[in-house]
Amino acid sequence: MPTAGTIQDLPFERGRAGRVANAKAALPVDVVEAFHAGMFRTDALVDAVADDIAAMPRGEGWQFLDRAFRDRTPAVQGAPPSIEALLAPLMDPPAWYDAEQITLGAAVWWRFVPGVVIGLTGSLISGMEFGDLNKPQAFNGRSVTMAARRYEETARWVLAVSEPGAAGPGGAGFDATVRVRLVHAMVRRHLRRSGEWDSVAWGEPIHTSGMALTNLAFLLMPLAFYDLVGVEVTAEETEAVRQLWRWVGYLMGVPDELLPTSMELADQLSRTGNMVLAPPDADSKVLVGAVRRAGIRAERVLPRPLWPLLGPVVRPPVSAVVWGASNAVVKKSIITDDSGSGPLSIPAREAHLAIKTLRPLVRLREQRRVRGALGSDLQIATRQREHLAGTLALVKAAPQVLHPEDAVHAG
């Protein structure tokens, strides 16, 4: 597949060519070219695993993967070599991997749970609104028919991978992320065999640039939100959060040139994506409309016999409030200017009402935190995580991330 060194060989689409040219005029050319090339590149290591597993009797391949996780070894007797090729560089991390910094980054990232919700919602919405990046979701159908479940499954993954200390080899977040990587591979395999995928117009299904952009949303949006509402994050803490999401991106199969190796590069890549990917289309309207109508299964706080009766009544207004408000905050308060620049803090008079409301409350909370009245970073993170976990439990959310074996069949 094309890499950053073969730009001239990439498929041509007039609208994208114009957007790429505009991006090169505003941003470093090598960054734009890497992102452009990544639209026609996928995760070859996990794609090979998906092909091998698909050729085995149902369930056999997943047993090999489960054994690798259980025994904490990439080499499982009888397993295809592709599984070891996928897991070996993850279980033996690169030299830049710093477990202590990644643990600190996870704790800082959870400093104020609304920031995490902004990152979660913003990453999902951004994948829906780009007219080319949204095509795997539009074709798969789960994002419309099971909008709430997809949100819940993503939230479960976020809880797993961002638990301080759980993202490294041997942790539950590590295992969950590799499984999500395989979900993408199974969906990608299905789309490629559908006969309906237009790689010239949309790039490869679930391409590496799209994966990078989602990863960057989890890094940049919460930090931008923290800056807006007044949650203090030092330069050293920001660096730790960056290291967390560099590692998560690596686990997810994002290639080195698209990983946030610095905050400057993270911003440049995010801006590039906003400029190069296609504008919203009809599928964007359908996908975003689905989460705003049915993205929160609010009726599930009630007794189960009432769900079918009250679901159509309760779910739309609650979903509209949660998704609509989150999206409005992202749109209005974490914005891009006309040149496609990255997240910007804007004046209080122009901020979304939620930002104006939170700022004085956060100021008081931060004074207590700095004095040590809220406990350590890990203690704060634990309580903030409990808030999200409690909400998921309240609506009886999907208990875990979607299993790769069910990726194409669920919904």
Amino acid at 410: A
In the chain, the percentage of residues whose pLDDT exceeds 70 is: 91
Q: Take residue 401 and report the two structure tokens written for it.
A: 């991330």
pTM of the model: 0.92
* pLDDT in the model for residue 411: 39
* pLDDT in the model for residue 58: 87
In the chain, the percentage of residues whose pLDDT exceeds 90 is: 76
Whole-number Å distance between alpha carbons of 206 and 46: 12
pLDDT confidence band for 30 (50 / 70 / 90):
very high
pLDDT confidence band for 1 (50 / 70 / 90):
very low
Exposed, middle or buried by CB within 10 Å (0-12, 13-18, 19+), for 19?
buried
Exposed, middle or buried by CB within 10 Å (0-12, 13-18, 19+), for 283?
buried
| Each residue's pLDDT tens digit, 308-333 | 999 999 999 998 888 877 777 777 76
Quick one: how far is CA 187 from the chain centroid? Answer: 16
Q: What is the mean pLDDT of residues 380-392?
A: 97
Domain ranges of the chain: 25-398
113 within 8 A of 388, measured Cβ to Cβ: yes
Instruction: Pick 337 or 397 by higher pLDDT.
Output: 397
> Taking all residues of the chain, what is their mean pLDDT, rounded to a whole number?
90
| Each residue's pLDDT tens digit, 162-193 | 999 999 999 999 999 999 999 999 999 999 99
* pLDDT in the model for residue 331: 74
- Please state, in angstroms and as integers, the Cα–Cα distance from residue 190 to each residue in 11, 54, 111, 227, 406, following that order: 22, 11, 39, 41, 12
Exposed, middle or buried by CB within 10 Å (0-12, 13-18, 19+), for 382?
middle
* pLDDT in the model for residue 404: 78
